[in-house]
Structure 1
């Protein structure tokens, strides 16, 4: 018997006061038609009212997939908990959900994406919650903001510090969803789901288990329905025993601004020459310098921003395949995509479900992470999650806190300050006009990454900008390299709110970084793995 119903019928199943968990990653895997139906039902009937929604990764974007904005309505939403949120340029109208958050209309929280998936897993197993060190001494910590995004949220904490076996941990109570909304490509008549056109599996299975094991319902949005028994068992990612209802959206986009690209879902492999390499500019200089931090044979995580171009640097330098890229949505290997398709990869080796990718990150199984920064503090802390004067430009932390919690090596990249007018002339950096906003500040507004904890754990932390390279040490941030053409005092020391330590062997950055020709990049080989001496983490 088919489980197919209409979106309107599915929306009518959601009771007032329900906790609803939504699987998505911006435009990737977003069950947009289902969210639209919920918003339309509320507009016409006033129901469902006062629901709480859970979003391990953002639902919707600023480019045609509205996602959570369909349900960002007074009376419909009571509370929202997200690993991340839709974001956009400062010139754009803020998403409706951001307007509700900044106007303090509903309590809003930013729990790291990996912990969001952990919460679902614990709820599925009927365990009390998540005990973790991920997030200690960041905005996640109850000693700071405790994940609260506004004043209303601060009044109702979702995390607390606890002592266990003589050590401090963060404790997140399990949250049980009554309704889970996931997305796939194909459902058969029994509700078995396959993901052949999807760019990632995300966390639909874990979310579905959390609802099913606690008496809730699971609604799946798909592109098509096929006959019972026609799907290969090995292809089924969410079995029909966990799926109660199926709605169909034949026009669902694969990801933001992409109706369907078989290379994103691993059905074909693109020729390497089809990938665009970065144009020569300041951002490319930074990405090249970041690439020099890598080792051949490493598994390296990538974040959004300048660092997302590093795989293209290796491609251009003839080193594609020397590093395995891993991104939080689940792709392993291949070429991570840019811009609106970030979170997807073409020519991937494998796709892991996001919850397991985050387990890999939280336990530091990978070798290095390449991430961005908005602010760097005196103590080495980094902010990527909040700017009060432009809140909707940031998406929250996403998986940033999970990834950086124990990462062995992190390379943060970004512009030294905001708004500077820069040029490259004859292989030298020319600063034509200084920026108005300093990004090296005495204290970051939001601690997304704790410099103090990094020192305690012995993490290897590097900051790469267009005008210098810096390292975090127990004594402070040390300036190790300076760009050719840059005046140390005027362009670096005077542009920081705190004093930098100047390395005794201060070097000039490789001049090849500042030329249009390839830099002749070579990567040292990663040392062979040996069995580690401790096993308790």
Structure 2
């Protein structure tokens, strides 16, 4: 798979974690693609920290409205019942615990569920944005990311970059597998059949625990 296919694959799998009626926040980058794969029959209200609920799928180029964007500045649509409001209200929703699920990208995640996703020392960054609030305020935190960066593991024993939050991630979904963060460690629950467990472990610094029944992560797509 090329990079675009990998990102679409991850986003499609993440979408099956959405529950009917959820309020969901999608981080910038790969997570925004999740809105394009909401399973049929589920009603999801997407929230964006720039002051917006009711995000819909990415519009066709000829239908893009420059005034309707997500927090990353990318064009989106608005569904019936959606609304715009100020930043204070938006963060009141997040900090008040009204977001059921947030999906974020990451530079690193470790075996305790800590996440580093906003800066690499020595490089220019726009800032942490709303990530810190989202991770602490959302009921469930999913990291959606490519499994490695230039061949180096991103799932580590301990994060080496500045932390966005400590011990807050609940699930990690990559193009290789689905991992649940538990008190005992990282539990491998689903794998992409294109990879073996041995291959996944070799690309993961942290030790992976194996679920009793590891399933094919693509089985969701066949429902």
Q: Same fold (TM over 0.5)?
A: yes
Tell me by how many angstroms 1:337 deviates: 5.0
Q: Tell me the alpha carbon deviations over residues 127-176 of structure 1, each in whole angstroms, 9 at most, x when there is no partner.
A: xxxxxxxxxxxxxxxxxxxxxxxxxxxxxxxxxxxxxxxxxxxxxxxxxx
Aligned residue for 2:218?
A: 510
Using the alignment, how far apart are the partners of 1:492 and 1:395 within structure 2?
Answer: 32
1:237-256 correspondence to structure 2 within 5 Å = none
Contact 2:36–2:58 (CA under 8 A) maintained in structure 1? no
Q: CA deviation at 1:403?
A: 0.9
Are the aligned partners of 1:484 and 1:508 in contact in 2 as well (CA < 8 Å)? yes
Corresponding residue for 2:102? 369
CA distance 1:302–1:447, shift in 2 (3 Å) = same
Matched, 1:418 2:149: yes
Shift of 1:472: 0.9
Shift in alpha-carbon separation, 1:512–1:323, aligned structure 2, 3 A: closer
Determine if contact 1:412/1:464 at 8 Å carries over to the other structure: yes
CA distance in 2, matches of 1:497, 1:399: 28
The residue number in structure 1 matching 2:14 is 290
Pairwise CA distance, 1:373: 1.1
Question: How many angstroms does 1:304 deviate by?
Answer: 0.7
Q: How many residues align?
A: 207
2:34 match = 310
CA distance in 2 between partners of 1:365 and 1:512 (Å): 27
Aligned to 2:164: 448
- The alpha-carbon distance between structure 1 residues 386 and 334, as it changes in their structure 2 partners (threshold 3 A), is closer
- What SS does the aligned partner of 2:170 have? strand
User: 1:475 — aligned with what?
Assistant: 184
Q: In the alignment, is the contact (CA less than 8 A) between 2:95 and 2:133 conserved in 1?
A: yes
| Offset, 1:311 | 0.9
Q: CA deviation at 1:469?
A: 0.4
Post-superposition offset of 1:312: 1.1
* Maintained 8 Å contact 2:176/2:192: yes
TM-score, normalization: structure 1?
0.36
- Which runs of structure 2 are paired with 1:159-308 in the superposition (5 Å)? 281-308=5-32
Secondary structure, aligned partner of 2:137: coil
Q: SS state of the match for residue 398, structure 1?
A: coil
1:484 equivalent among 172, 176, 193: 193
1:332 paired residue among 53, 62, 66: 53
| 1:350 counterpart = 2:83 | yes
Distance, in Å, in 2 between the alignment partners of 1:504 and 1:318 is: 30
Q: In the alignment, is residue 397 of structure 1 matched against residue 106 of structure 2?
A: no
Residue 334 of structure 1 and its aligned partner are, at CA, apart by 3.3
Q: Is the 8 A contact 2:47 2:55 kept in 1?
A: no
Name the residue aligned to 1:532. none
Distance 2:84 2:137 in 1: 23
Which residues of structure 2 form unaligned runs of 5+?
60-65
Measured in 2, the distance between the counterparts of 1:503 and 1:282 equals 24
Contact 1:384/1:396 (CA < 8 Å) preserved in 2? no
2:154 corresponds to which residue? Answer: 439
Q: How does 1:62-141 map to 2 (within 5 A)?
A: none
Q: State the distance in 2 between where 1:450 and 1:504 align.
A: 28
Any idea what SS the aligned residue of 1:347 has?
strand
User: Is the alpha carbon distance of 1:486 and 1:415 closer, same or farther for their aligned partners in structure 2, counting shifts above 3 Å?
Assistant: same
In structure 1, runs of 5+ residues without a counterpart are: 1-278, 420-434, 455-459, 514-518, 521-537
Inter-partner Cα distance in structure 1 for 2:18 and 2:46: 11
Residues 325 and 336, structure 1, Cα contact 8 Å, conserved in 2:
no
Q: Which structure is higher in strand share? A: 2
Question: Larger radius of gyration, structure 1 or 2?
Answer: 1
Partner of 2:171: 462
1:484–1:511: 8 Å Cα contact kept in structure 2? no
1:408 lines up with 2:139 in the alignment: yes
Tell me the TM-score normalized by structure 2: 0.84
Q: Secondary structure at the match of 1:296?
A: coil
CA contact (8 A) 2:48 2:70 kept: no
